[in-house]
Chains A and B, each alone.
Chain A
Amino acid sequence: MATIVEAPPVAPAAPSSRGGLWGWLTSVDHKKIGIMYGISAFVFFVLGGIEALVIRWQLAVPDGTLVNEEVYNQLFTMHGTTMVFLFVMPVSAAFGNYFMPIMIGARDVAFPRMNALSFWIFISGGIFISSSFFLGGFPDGAWVGYSPLSTQSEVIRMDFWAIGLLILGVASLLGAVNFITTIFTMRAPGMTLFRMPVFVWMQLVVAFLLAFSLPLVTVGLFQVILDRNFGTLFYDAATGGDPILWQHLFWLFGHPEVYILILPAMGIVSEVLPTFSRKPLFGYQFVVFAGAAIGFLGFGVWAHHMFTSGLGPVAETAFGLMTMTIAVPTGIKIFNWVGTMWGGNISFTTPMLFSVGFVAMFTIGGLSGVTHSIVPADTQQHDSYYVVAHFHYVLFGGAVFGVFAGVYYWFGKVFGRMLDETIGKWHYWLMFIGFNLTFAPMHFLGLNGMPRRIATYGDGLGWNYWNFMATVGSFVIALSILVFLYNAVRSYRSGELAGPDPWDGRTLEWTTSSPPADYNFAEVPVVEAIDDFWYKKYGEDEDHLPVRLDTNPLDPSASAPQEEFHVHLPSPSYYPILLAVGIVTLAYGFLWLPVGYLVMAAGLGIMLWAIFGWAMEDIDHPMGDNGHGEGHADDGGGDDAEAELVGTSSEGAE
């Protein structure tokens, strides 16, 4: 394609290299972006985990002296903020980025450069918040940032928190818009909405939840920033402001956020269970609708986080009953997962273990969630360790188990080599035991009157034994993570080769090579059923049992890996990372006004440069073409409807 607009003079030559550091920094490939999301999320997971270990060490015995209150308050604030915003959200973006396009038969997301921008803004925001450690201390107002405590905190710590969350919110919004557009417009022929894998469905629901909930907390965060820095009085009771307003705005976002964290894991489990049971997902439509229902209802239950704030009995009743209804779609999912296993031929691989563990542990978190909807009971449980136990059963027993199910399931697809199964099982059982030893006792602690977010507790209250056990458990979890790290490094180097379809999978990602080619599919697949790949591999005999067909339904790139294909792909671009750098520079400048005005000006300059360059960027730079070819293999709409097969190396194709 001819160059349409000359690149602006400020722009150096467009990046052309695919490999190396520069290749990663400028990549717009959804798979590379997915890997970067995953690895950064894991780094933050380890950081948040270290914070948790210090917390547990402090609480192992009464009147702990490892850290003082000032440090402790920073640690639990950052543990929560890190795990929610810098681990679980990006790790689900990692899976979504890598697999959602492949699972719907697309070659990339709808807006590849925006996708890169989303990642670079996320990582800038993560570094921004975490860098507070070196610049006056971590934020210390809890991850929920309740006003007026968050506006009272005199040092810039809570500015780091509020501005950091705003930055991360931009990243999530961009990602959400991109995913929604991709899922609605880029599906392969025949991939109707109700043939999409449940994982993709859950990513779609999550994208909508993000798009509708983030603006609410954004309003609140702006108010906090304005109150803290410009003398507005949104949350100042002395002048008619109201601290409760923040709780509404935060939880209007915060409760959908819970489902933003858990639904992707539910999606992963809904892929893993059928594969290893060798059966389709039981009640596909019901699982999909239950997921969507959870998303909808999630917007109507926010005030159950506020049952002790004095809502009055009528509102308490309304939100209590509304909260109960969420148990129904959640139950539907759990029953359908068990139904999927029923009558199957189950192989307990590591991803399957994590998935079954997910169903079992999430059930516990779900049931303790029902006890929160019993409003009077919640007035005892609220802000106690019982709540800490509850949401760790949902977010650790749920989301983290789901994430590791996904890691073990897809590692071979992403890196070409399988994670070791024996070490994986060690990882699973250590984590399962450590998790339950850590968090089950917290139910008792909370019911026995131990509040959360306390740096120390007194002796003689009956809390010593379970606190000590929880601390032991947390170090067992840490050990399991070390086992996983060892497994990941070892398997990445010398693990068993995966091949395109190591698990006898059911969905489109298993038709491609491992790792998939830059362009995912040499031929855009034509989809005819749910679990299309399975039904292209297996027919049915007279007893309705699957029989292996004598066909090769793999994508040509998987069965002929030495070949290269002419597929047009978007060019790499460094404008996304440049724009993210501009944004974070602007944010740093804001923290040190008035000197910071200069830094802010620099940040704005960088942003303008990036936006201008982005807008003017040659979309089809000859040197920057990832796929290296003049032919287009868009979904039936390009110059060539089908990708061409050429026998030469990609570099020689130009």
Chain B
Amino acid sequence: MLWMKGVFNMSSQKYAATLSVQEMIAKKKRQRKNWSEKIMPVILQLTAIISVLTTLGILFTLLVETFAFFKDVSLKEFITGNTWYPFSEPGQYGIMPLISGTLRITGIAILVAVPIGLAAAIYLSEFASDKVRRVIKPVLEVLAGIPTIVYGFFALTFVTPILQKIIPSLEIFNALSPGIVIGIMIIPTIASLSEDALGSVPIAIREGGLALGATKLEVTLKVVLPAAVSGIVASIVLGISRAIGETMIVSIAGGSTPNLGLDITGSVQTMTAYIVQVAQGDAGYGTTIYYSIYAVGFALFIFTLIMNLLAQWISNRVKEDY
């Protein structure tokens, strides 16, 4: 019976030992200042909420000041009016000329960026060796990292004079030169996102095409490109969004003449360039002109938001399953 007692004692000792460890943990827990465990998640959550507040701030700012603008100008005039002439008395605020200027420059930019960007994406994804790709991709990224003020300088002092030699009637400030330079600026966006889309098409699908005797080009154009079309379209839409929101290039090289029509050789004004023009001049706080930059900013915000949401929607919804 003695050994049984011994076992019993041992197990009870073991039990007691476990209890004491638990007690130690509990004691330790009580001792430790546990505030950081409780307060840090809250602080971190607040920092994350700042981003939501930023969005609300943008919306609230634009809405409030735009509302003040529409006390002086009717919504109908703003949307349908064909003359943007705020510096006359009384000012005329029809946004169509600004939108027309923005669309002309964006159109030129897309005409430049889509063929070159897409061709570069196809070359990098389908034809280039790994070595070449490793060299060229960072260089394209450099193109994306150049500040827009530098592109603006380049457009005004280099591209415009060259274009003037080709088209003598081209004015110093025109839509063509900033359009081309914005196109160059968004090539990396389109090239790199399209290359991702092309690269995510499985190799097996290409091999299927090659096995049927198709050349590399035929496989690329008839198999890979259709499979990656959603990603490519999304990249183009994002490029459009960036072109619409681009400010410094058009302010420097585009001029400040809001006008309708399809002329690209003369001075134009985009929505962004108008905001810069007014912000630079001394439009008094509280005047209609001051509020008008918020109304234009709001229109700009809506345009780019629609484009960004469209791009997200295209790349999420139209995703191919392989």
Tell whether A and B belong to one assembly: no
Binding site for B on A (CB under 8 A): none
